[in-house]
Amino acid sequence: MPSESGIGWSARSGVVLTDRMRAFLDLLSRESGVTLVVSSGVRSATSQASALRGKLAAGNDIEDLRDLYGRRSPIMELTGHPPETWGAILASQVARGVYLSDHMTGHAFDLSGDGHSTAEMYVIRDAARSLGAEAIVEDIGTENMHVHVEEV
């Protein structure tokens, strides 16, 4: 069940969005011509840790996480510890002004691939880029396929 919606888009229950994200989603849905479902928005340290553990549960390993986050110091610090401690470690990083993900600063969101073809996901990605955002299609060919959109 969506927690909120706009022109041509909805957000899953519990997803936190900024006003800037909402405005961008209105533009993106018009530009892409595709109905959008936001699966992730602003993340707390706890929700970021949960997202990382979800990637492990989906079959990724620690090396995949390190590659995904560019082997920067926040992910390297995190993956040296058991996953159940990651929320506290991320909270400690945030307290020092260090953010693993742009989701944690309110500058990224994910769009679900549920019900969309891979081709439609690329249409969404291209539309986001035409509006000035960075966007990539992740987890292609899996049930977790999504478009990750940054700097909105």
Report the pLDDT value the prediction gives residue 10, as an integer from 0 to 100: 95
Question: Is the pLDDT score of 1 beyond 60?
Answer: no
Residue from 105, 106, 107, 152 nearest 127 by CA: 152
Smallest CA-to-CA distance from 68 within 110, 106, 114 is with 110
pLDDT given for residue 94 in this prediction: 96
The answer to whether the CB of 6 falls within 8 A of the CB of 29 is yes
| pLDDT of 89 above 60 | yes
pLDDT in tens, 106-137: 999 999 999 899 999 999 999 999 999 999 99
On the question of pLDDT at 105 being above 60, the answer is: yes
* pLDDT > 90? residue 21: yes
User: What residues pair up with 135 in beta bridges, in sequence order?
Assistant: 149
Average pLDDT value over all residues in the chain = 92
Question: Which residue ranges make up each domain of the chain?
Answer: 2-42+106-150, 45-102
Average of per-residue pLDDT across 56-66: 90
Q: In what order do the strands lie in the sheet containing 36-40?
A: 2-6, 9-12, 36-40, 108-112, 146-150, 134-138
What's the predicted TM-score (pTM) here?
A: 0.88
Q: Is a pLDDT exceeding 80 seen at residue 5?
A: yes
Task: Give the pairing of strands 9-12 and 36-40.
Answer: parallel
- Dist CA 30 CA 25 (whole Å): 9
**Which CATH architecture describes the domain 2-42+106-150?**
2-Layer Sandwich (3.30)
Give strand pairing partners of 136: 148
